[in-house]
Each structure stands twice: as C-alpha cells, then as structure tokens.
C-alpha cells in the first residue's frame, strides 16, 4: 500500500516538473536533477519519462 502512495506521489511530482519546464520556469538540467532526487526520495526504481 505504501508503495502505491509513493508511486502516486512520484508521478504527481513528475507532472508538476513537466509543467514548470513547459512554462520555462526551470531548465532541462534542473528538471533532470530534481527528477533524480524525487525518484530517490520516493524509491522509484525505474523512470520512464
């Protein structure tokens, strides 16, 4: 159950990052760096973005 919550939270964070990137509020480099940090935080083993 907690893995489902972590997966949902990770997907939400990725979508928020994509929105920030699309709005040009962050750079591609920042997007990738935060994506890796978020994946580590939520325990995502594979990232398909």
Q: Using one digit for the tens of pLDDT, what is the confidence trace for 1-43? A: 788 888 889 999 999 999 999 999 999 999 999 999 999 999 8
Put simply, whether the predicted model's pTM sits higher than 0.85 gets the answer: no
Task: Report helix, strand and coil shares of the chain as percent, to nearest 5.
Answer: 75, 0, 25
Per-residue pLDDT band at 44 (split at 50, 70, 90): confident
- The Cα–Cα gap between 21 and 44 comes to 21
- How much is the pLDDT for 35? 94
- How much is the pLDDT for 49? 66
Higher pLDDT, 24 or 45: 24
């Amino acid at each position: 159950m907690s893995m489902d919550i972590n997966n949902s939270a990770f997907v939400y964070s990725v979508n928020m990052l994509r929105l920030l990137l699309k709005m040009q509020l962050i750079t591609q480099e920042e997007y990738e760096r935060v994506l890796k940090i978020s994946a580590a935080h939520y325990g995502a083993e594979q990232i398909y973005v």
